[in-house]
Structure 1
Amino acid sequence: MARHPHAPDPHASGRVESLDVFLKTIKIGTIIRTPGDFTAFSFDAAYRATGGSPVLSLSFRAATGGLRKDPKPLAGALPAFFANLLPEDKLRTAMERYHAGDVRPGNDFDLLAALGADLPGAVRVLPSGGPKAVRGTRIGTSPKARFSLAGVQMKLSVMKNTGKGGGLTVPLGNNQGQYIAKFPSTTFPGVSENEFVSLALAAAIGMDVPERELVEKADFEGIPEELDVRADGRILVIRRFDRDADGERTHIEDFAQVFGVYPSRKYEGAACHDIAAALVAAVSPAAALEFVRRLALAAVTGNGDMHLKNWSLIYPDDGSRPALAPIYDVLSTVPYMPADAMALSLGGERSFKALSAPRWKAFANRARLPEAAVMKAVVDTVTLVNACWWRLPERDLVPASVIERIDAHVRVMTPILMTCA
């Protein structure tokens, strides 16, 4: 009888069956793979005794305080928190190909074992037997890139070379990147420049935006063939806000992780008011109103891709209390998909043109935010966008066909959103 392609190979030597989960240097728990390709995650007794501090994820917090019970074992899947640490689509396929000796296509546990040394945030997931437990890291083999970045766009974690020549390269072995390089699309023209100008606009209206620059492919060296992107155009390089200037990790989690939603449900696993309510409870009403400002920015510029994985919490200092993370993955999607809409439901609607005052009032009521404060946040944001957008210097970098479609959307949406006045 033929073996299922995702079933464990009984003849595979050196297959990792146990992974230790760390938050910085603190052991959080263990993920075990059992016969039949079930995975079980359990918290370490010492970490459970702390009540869950520093925080791994709000999804593991019990309503009464402390940690929930260990999740039930899952067949062929990781708990949602860990599944959300892995790349999707093209980047996942490329990483599976690059680590083909250790990773079977579609197997989350294999991929986490291969990439767990350099994950988003301060989480590390390492083979319980130490690095030698991973076949790809045996003495005598060449070091490999072992980073993971969530999302579908082709992007790499990169580091800047020091010394003569400079440039950018992919970290290998135990090295880790302080930057994310987002490569141009073969389908959507000017996507790097689009995101660059969108981030510049967010910064111009006072939002918390990471450092960024546009670079050329010639600035890179040492990209493994399996991870190389054969597309022409500039590359957007963004400083990672989950790494400090010394390369130390700062913990983050996206809202798919907060809500325990798998990546496949990032567009329907929750609505905008759910994020706002979570921010009020876990951070502050001021953080929820900053979220409203970012929603208004998405609406006025036509960004239809702000799904659950494009909003995050960050855990600075001792990691016990979250804050709203800097804005990221912002661009206008309407130049490429003219009929696009909001990624998440807002006041029961997704269509941009439906987002007049009644929708924002419904959103405010569902989020339990003061209606007047929400309306003011929308109006103030749209006013600032119109004061900055038309004279933003970075506009000149964007292809004319792309900028014209963004301009048209801003003109259409401004009076609709200003009904909140």
Structure 2
Amino acid sequence: MNAASSAQGDLVAFVDGQRTGLFTQNAHGAISFAYDDDLSPVATPLSISMPLVAGAEYGNRVARPFLQGLLSDNPATLEGIAAAHHTSPRNPMGLLRHVGRDTAGALQLLPPGEASDDAAARTGDVHYIDDLGELVASVVDSAGNWSERYDEFRWSLAGAQPKLALYRSDDGQWGVPRDSTPTTHILKPAARGGRHDVNEFLTMRAGRRLGLRVADHGLMVTDRGDFVFVAKRYDRVQAGDRLHRLHQEDFAQALSVDPALKYQSDGGPGLEKFARVVRAFAPSEQRRAANELFEALVFTCAAANTDAHAKNYSVIHSGTQMRLAPLYDLGSNALYRGDQPMPSAVSIGGERVMARIGMTHWLKAAKTLGVEAQAARDAVERIRGGVSAAFVAARADLLADDDGLDYADRLVEAVEERARHHGW
């Protein structure tokens, strides 16, 4: 596609400031994407599902789920964005025209004629927030549908939980970028009466204790008493005085799967499809990626994480090279299921009930992913034998209020009890 071609409603794709191609939508709503004709063959592609091939055009079956994967899974959030900008909550092009300036990865989606000035200076145009507590409270109170404020923000985040993407300065001030300055952190407020902030902190920290790569994270409480889990964006890197975006996509986007089908039980991808993503990596990277993915899957069972679906694993792209992203959105369901069967988000060796998954199933899963049998055994034994101690150590890292500490103690006890009961 000619780099100069454009039409009303089109969206130009930029990857870390470099124009890459054009998304178009026809009168029937079908979306397509084509790379610019003059793009370097070693440029960063948008997706495994859209290889960088000169002259290739990717139709609605591929382009629509890729764009939908950049948006929230929360219908209230989509309706809020749509109401603020007078578009349809079911049209990803219409939504991203207004909130596509800062998405997951290095991708920016801008109307034709708008320039990307990435990578933005660290001291770009940022509106600093006087009352972060009020902003967080508005997100919590509205359960994500804070449509009266959507015109203030130009970012989009996937996932179902209400959250904010903000810029944090070197001196700790929080702000909303007004130009293409990247956001640097994701804030996930806990629902009132819940302590998912502590849950995610403990699970992420336990994973790190067991040797998994996880996104940097911490906890915060606002002056209005809201508890917030804070994740530093691993798809943002500072070089000198400039922030660069690293391009990423989740497994659902890489496989052209609509976010509504992210769970295998809903018709989404299982390990065979996950293995297809890993096989798209360079041969020199495939073994490491397969081993990391396998260990992550073992940890999801050990930690009773029932939410490890296709959107909770991602790939980082850099030119023609790919690697697995650090783990994110980890949480434990150990406190909440009681005696009910705990389902794995993906089938492990033909079994989905976590309590029934044994070494035979793990070895089948390892074979599917291309992990050597001995490496698989070692990973299962190390993580299974260490998960209780990892949660105990994570609890020691926690600085929280009395309610948060009480919740942490109950979660750690539930993980330990489950380990005793089921061999985890």
TM-score bracket, normalised by the shorter chain, equals 0.7 to 0.9
Q: Does 1:342 align with 2:326?
A: no
The 3 A distance-change label for structure 1 pair 381 and 29 is same
Match of 1:59 in 2: 49
Match of 1:154 in 2: 162
Work out whether residues 302 and 383 of structure 2, in 8 Å CA contact, stay in contact via their aligned partners in 1.
no
Q: Does 1:144 align with 2:152?
A: yes
Match of 1:373 in 2: 375
Q: Does 1:251 align with 2:251?
A: no
Q: Does 1:125 align with 2:109?
A: yes
The 3 A distance-change label for structure 1 pair 394 and 67 is farther
Match of 2:11 in 1: 19
The 3 A distance-change label for structure 1 pair 16 and 184 is farther
Secondary structure at the residue paired with 1:59? coil
Superposed displacement of residue 131, structure 1: 6.9
Hey, which of these two has a bigger chunk of strand by percent? Answer: 2
Work out whether residues 254 and 311 of structure 1, in 8 Å CA contact, stay in contact via their aligned partners in 2.
yes
- Structure 2's unaligned 5+ residue stretches are 1-6, 117-149
Superposed displacement of residue 307, structure 1: 0.6
Superposed displacement of residue 101, structure 1: 3.0
Work out whether residues 159 and 170 of structure 1, in 8 Å CA contact, stay in contact via their aligned partners in 2.
yes
Aligned to 1:204, which of 193, 209, 216? Answer: 209
Work out whether residues 210 and 238 of structure 1, in 8 Å CA contact, stay in contact via their aligned partners in 2.
yes
Q: Distance in 1 between matches of 2:420 and 2:55?
A: 45
Match of 1:234 in 2: 227
One-letter amino acid of the structure 1 residue matched with residue 93 of structure 2: F
What whole-Å deviation, never above 9, does each CA across 1:322-356 have from its counterpart, x for those lacking one? 11111110010232344442111211222110111
Work out whether residues 18 and 32 of structure 1, in 8 Å CA contact, stay in contact via their aligned partners in 2.
yes
One-letter amino acid of the structure 1 residue matched with residue 229 of structure 2: L
Q: Distance in 2 between matches of 1:354 and 1:235?
A: 35
Q: Distance in 2 between matches of 1:367 and 1:206?
A: 19
Identical pairs, percent: 25
The 3 A distance-change label for structure 1 pair 286 and 177 is same
- Structure 1's unaligned 5+ residue stretches are 1-14, 133-141, 220-231
**Aligned length in residues:** 369
Q: Does 1:264 align with 2:257?
A: no
Work out whether residues 122 and 249 of structure 1, in 8 Å CA contact, stay in contact via their aligned partners in 2.
yes
Q: Distance in 2 between matches of 1:61 and 1:256?
A: 16
Aligned CA RMSD, in angstroms, stands at: 2.9
Match of 1:105 in 2: 89
Secondary structure at the residue paired with 2:77? helix
Q: Distance in 1 between matches of 2:418 and 2:200?
A: 21
One-letter amino acid of the structure 1 residue matched with residue 48 of structure 2: L
Secondary structure at the residue paired with 2:343? coil
Q: Distance in 2 between matches of 1:307 and 1:209?
A: 16
Secondary structure at the residue paired with 1:169? strand
Match of 1:404 in 2: 410
Q: TM-score, normalised by structure 1?
A: 0.79
Match of 1:227 in 2: none
Q: Distance in 1 between matches of 2:388 and 2:412?
A: 12
Superposed displacement of residue 288, structure 1: 1.1
What whole-Å deviation, never above 9, does each CA across 1:184-211 have from its counterpart, x for those lacking one? 124x711001101111112222222232
The 3 A distance-change label for structure 1 pair 111 and 175 is same
